[in-house]
Amino acid sequence: MVDFHQNMIEFREYIRKLLPNGFVQYYYMVSDGSKHQGRDRHGVIMTKSNTTGKPAFLPLTTSDPMGASDAEGLATLNFETSKAKVPLDIFAHYGGQTTDNASVAVLERKLTFSKTMGHLQEENYSHAVYPEVMSTNCVNGVEQLIVDAGDLYHINNLCMGHCME
């Protein structure tokens, strides 16, 4: 838990800065189910760049799916896990998700994004440094849309399998 907290402190400095062109930075999630080693698990990892800008990943959970097998249940698990672990000022930079291309997974990533944007509206979120750029679910006054990425080569599954070993 201490390492996770330290990661969030370092990541906050990176993610809250605007890019040189003035654009907001985002992180993304990867999620998938796995039955590796005879265990039924649902994993969620977030993309994270460290202070050197090199890509990295940070596991959020590799938990029992707790009975969640439909898109709504998995999206709720993703959302609640993220909301509980990731501070709001970082959580607001969620840009989308990669899953495999199963119909349940495609809907899962859309519902996760919808739940996240709804939460930002409920919290009336405004960026601490650049409130004119990023507030609630809008960036520069335009409603934020999901970056909806399928996984053509099923690399997502390989990442999640490794994460859950």
Q: For the segment 7-60, what is each residue's pLDDT rounded down to a tens digit?
A: 888 888 888 888 888 888 888 888 887 776 777 777 888 887 665 667 777 778
Q: Is the distance from CB of 139 to CB of 131 less than 8 angstroms?
A: no
pLDDT of residue 36: 66
Q: Is the distance from CB of 108 to CB of 71 less than 8 angstroms?
A: yes
pLDDT of residue 30: 84
Q: Which residue has the higher pLDDT, 16 or 63?
A: 16
- Residues 69-125: pLDDT tens digits? 789 998 998 999 999 999 999 999 999 888 888 888 889 989 999 999 999 989 888
pLDDT band at 61 (very low <50, low <70, confident <90, very high): confident
Domain coverage including residue 78? 2-163
Instruction: Tell which residue, 57, 50, 12, has the closest CA to residue 32.
Output: 57
Total tally of structural domains belonging to the chain: 1
Edge-first strand order for the sheet with 55-63 is: 55-63, 41-49, 27-34, 94-98, 147-149
